[in-house]
Amino acid sequence: MLMVDDWRDCGWEIICDRGRVALDVVVAAMEPSEWMVQIAPTSLPKFVLKLRGWEPFAERSDVYELATHIDASLARQFGTLRWCWDDFPDDSAAPHPTPWKGFD
């Protein structure tokens, strides 16, 4: 399923799901010629639900897989992009998505 929400001249929220995995993709203008993309699970189970055995609705590997598809599509149109996990992609950010190497 694909659902798109238009935010009146500033961006879009696109919900992508496949099976149990549901991810939000947010595309928004930061400056007139600068855009950002964020990818995150649509929702996360609450702490109590996790204690009862509920699994997350998406894993880091799901986010990475979608990021690689987005990167391939956008790079054809816009050239080199900047990617990072959980931060603003500054000049030291990777030119393509990389697997999560942080803490759990």
Domain ranges, residue 42: 2-78
**Mean pLDDT, all residues of the chain:** 79
Give a yes or no: residue 88 inside a domain: no
Give the pTM. 0.75
Report the domain count for the chain.
1
Q: Is residue 95 part of a domain?
A: no
Q: Give me the mean pLDDT over the 20-42 stretch.
A: 82
Q: Could you tell me if residue 66 is inside a domain?
A: yes
Distance in angstroms (rounded) separating the CA atoms of residues 49 and 103: 22
Q: What percentage of the chain exceeds 90 in pLDDT?
A: 11
Residue 94 lies inside a defined structural domain of this protein: no
Q: Where are the alpha helices (DSSP H) in 13-98?
A: 47-51, 60-78
Higher pLDDT, 36 or 102: 36
Q: pLDDT tens, 65-98?
A: 999 999 998 888 877 788 888 887 788 888 889 9
Q: Decide if 84 is inside a domain.
A: no
Is residue 102 over pLDDT 70?
no
